[in-house]
Amino acid sequence: MAKKFNEGIFRITKKEEIYNGPHSEIDSVRLSSEGHSLDLLRKKFRCYSIEFMSGPEWHTSLKKRGYPVFPTLRYDKKNEVEYITDLSRGGTHRVIDFCGHKENFEKVYISNIKELGDEVEKLLKKSADDGLVINEPNIFFDIETSTGIARVLLGDLRELGCEDMEYIPTKDEVLANNKEVLKGHMDRLKEIMISKNI
């Protein structure tokens, strides 16, 4: 669940800039407190004042409903900063976001493409049943580099749902939209995939 971030408990003992864009600034930080440390990504938002709380609210709601979301999300509402799990885990995992950097299109070893396809189908069915509209920026793949095991995650949660908040799409419309989005991401993943047979 998303929780409020208590900056008085933790101090930052490591900081490495990752991305500085027009809408957000992201750095990798290590938060330390009394012998305990946690590696997270810190995302400072720009131009999202009205929408800032929608991300934490979506995270809490989706996690309760069993959707695959980032394990940790902490938020500082006053400064419009989120702290989320650094899925790269010090380089042992590769995180692919096809709406992000060019390195996301570099070849990657995947050993469980069939199981990943099954996981995506379950996400597709569940989201259609729940009326949850998925958009391009929501889809991430977390790949363990040593085993090639990949899983799908929902991220950039402010981008979820319909832009027209007054229009409620039908189940068939949600299914068609989500199928197009998820198929597009899976097709791109297969294009850069290296399997054991190659």
| pLDDT one-digit tens code per residue, 111-123 | 999 999 999 999 9
Q: Is the pLDDT of residue 58 over 80?
A: yes
> Would you place residue 15 in the very low, low, confident or very high pLDDT band (cuts 50, 70, 90)?
confident
Residues 46 and 142 both lie in one domain: no
Residues 82 and 139 both lie in one domain: no
- Residues 140, 155 contacting (CB under 8 angstroms): yes
Residues 98 and 82 both lie in one domain: no
Q: Choose the final residue of a domain: 53, 86, 119.
A: 86
Residues 82 and 94 both lie in one domain: no
Residues 81 and 173 both lie in one domain: no
Q: What is the pLDDT of residue 177?
A: 96
| 57, 106, 118 from 115: Cα distances, Å | 29, 22, 5
Best mean pLDDT range from 22-26, 50-54, 127-131:
127-131
Q: How many CB atoms lie within 10 A of CB 34?
A: 7
Q: What is the pLDDT of residue 34?
A: 81
CA distance 185 to 23: 23
Residue span of the structural domain in which 55 resides: 3-86
Q: Choose the final residue of a domain: 86, 115, 142.
A: 86
Residues 97 and 82 both lie in one domain: no
Residues 42 and 125 both lie in one domain: no
Q: Choose the final residue of a domain: 86, 118, 136.
A: 86
- The 3-state DSSP class for residue 12 equals strand
Number of domains in the chain: 2
| Sheet of strand 93-96: strand arrangement | 93-96, 139-144, 150-154
Residues 46 and 113 both lie in one domain: no
Q: Is the pLDDT of residue 196 over 70?
A: no
Q: Nearest to residue 71, comparing CAs of 84, 81, 58, 54?
A: 84
Can you tell me the mean pLDDT for 19-32? 81
Residues 54 and 102 both lie in one domain: no
Residue with tokens 């695959």, as numbered in its chain: 68
Q: Nearest to residue 31, comparing CAs of 72, 63, 62?
A: 72
